[in-house]
Amino acid sequence: MLTYPNINPIAISIGPLSIHWYGIMYIVAFGGAWALATMRARKSPGSWTAEQISDLIFYGALGAVIGGRMGSVLFYNFSQFLADPLWLLRVWEGGMSFHGGFLGVMVAFYWYSRKLNKPYFELLDFIAPLAPFGLGAGRLGNFIGGELWGRPTDVAWGMVFPHVDQQPRHASQLYEFALEGVVLFTLIWWFSSRDRPRYAVSGLFSLGYGTFRFFIEFFREPDEGIGFIAFQWMTMGQLLSTPMIVAGVVLLALAYRTQEAKSR
C-alpha cells in the first residue's frame, strides 16, 4: 500500500506572490506544445511560420483555459459557482474540465483557421499530436494537487489519500497521465509521422482520448455531488467522452473513404 506524499500545492512563495504547481503544469503544457509544434512545422517547410505557431498556441491556450473553466462550471460545479461566483476566476485552485477545454479549443481554432484562410481540419490534424503532452502535464497537476482521486481498491498499488480518508484508492490521476498522456502521445505522434488523409489524425486523437477516458472512469471516484448519472455505473466523464469516441470513428471512416474515392 502506498501513501499520497502530501505535496504542497504551492511551488514557490515570494512575499504575497504564490506560484502553484497547477499553474506551472499549464506553463509546461503550452511551452511543450509550442516546442513540438515548431518541430512538426520543420517537417513541412513553408506550411507554418514561427509567428503562426506562436499564435496557434496562444489561441489554443485561450480556448483551453476559458473553455475548461466554463466546462467545469456547467458540467460539474454549477452549484459551487452560484454559491461563490468569484470561484470561476480562481483557476489556480483547480476545477478545469477537459471536455469544456476541448470545446473551447475547437472554437478558438475555428476562428484562427478562418483568419489564416487554412482548412479547419488541416489545422486540427497539425495540432492533435501535441494535445496529449498537455493532457499529461495536466494530470500530473491533478496528482500534485491531490484532486480527482480514484475509487477504493485492494490492489497492492492502492494509495491512501489522507486528506480524503484512510482507504487505499486507485491513483487514477497517474493512470490518466499514463494513458491520456504517455500512451496517447506516443500513438498519435507515431501515426502522424507519415502522411495521412485529412481528418485521420484528428479522428484518432478523438477516438483514443475518448476510449482511454471512458475506461479510466471505472477507476476514478465519481464526481462529488453528481455520482453516477445513468445505469448505476456511467459517470459524467463517460457521458462526455462517448461523443468523442463516435466522432473519432466517423472522422477516421471519412478520412479513408475520401482517400479511397480519390484513388479510383
What does the H/E/C string look like for the chain?
CEECCCCCCEEEEECCEEEEHHHHHHHHHHHHHHHHHHHHHHCCCCCCCHHHHHHHHHHHHHHHHHHHHHHHHHHHCHHHHHHCHHHHHCHHHCCCCHHHHHHHHHHHHHHHHHHHCCCHHHHHHHHHHHHHHHHHHHHHHHHHCCCCCECECCCCCCEECCCCCCCEECCHHHHHHHHHHHHHHHHHHHHHCCCCCCCHHHHHHHHHHHHHHHHHCCCECCCCCCCCCECCCECHHHHHHHHHHHHHHHHHHHHHHHHHHHHC
Question: What is the model's pLDDT at position 224?
Answer: 79
Using pLDDT thresholds of 50, 70 and 90, give the confidence band for residue 222: very high
How many C-beta neighbours within 10 Å does residue 257 have? Answer: 12
Distances (CA, A) of 102 to 22, 44, 119, 127: 18, 26, 19, 12
- Whether the predicted pLDDT of 15 surpasses 80: no
Mean pLDDT along residues 235-248: 94
Question: What is the model's pLDDT at position 169?
Answer: 97
User: What residues form DSSP beta bridges with 220?
Assistant: 150
- Whether the predicted pLDDT of 63 surpasses 70: yes
User: Interior CA angle at 206 toward 204 and 207, to 5°?
Assistant: 65
pTM of full prediction above 0.75:
yes
Which position has the grid cell 502522424?
Answer: 192
Question: What is the model's pLDDT at position 95?
Answer: 67
User: What residues form DSSP beta bridges with 150?
Assistant: 220
Mean pLDDT along residues 55-78: 84
pLDDT in tens, 100-109: 888 889 999 9
Question: What is the model's pLDDT at position 51?
Answer: 92
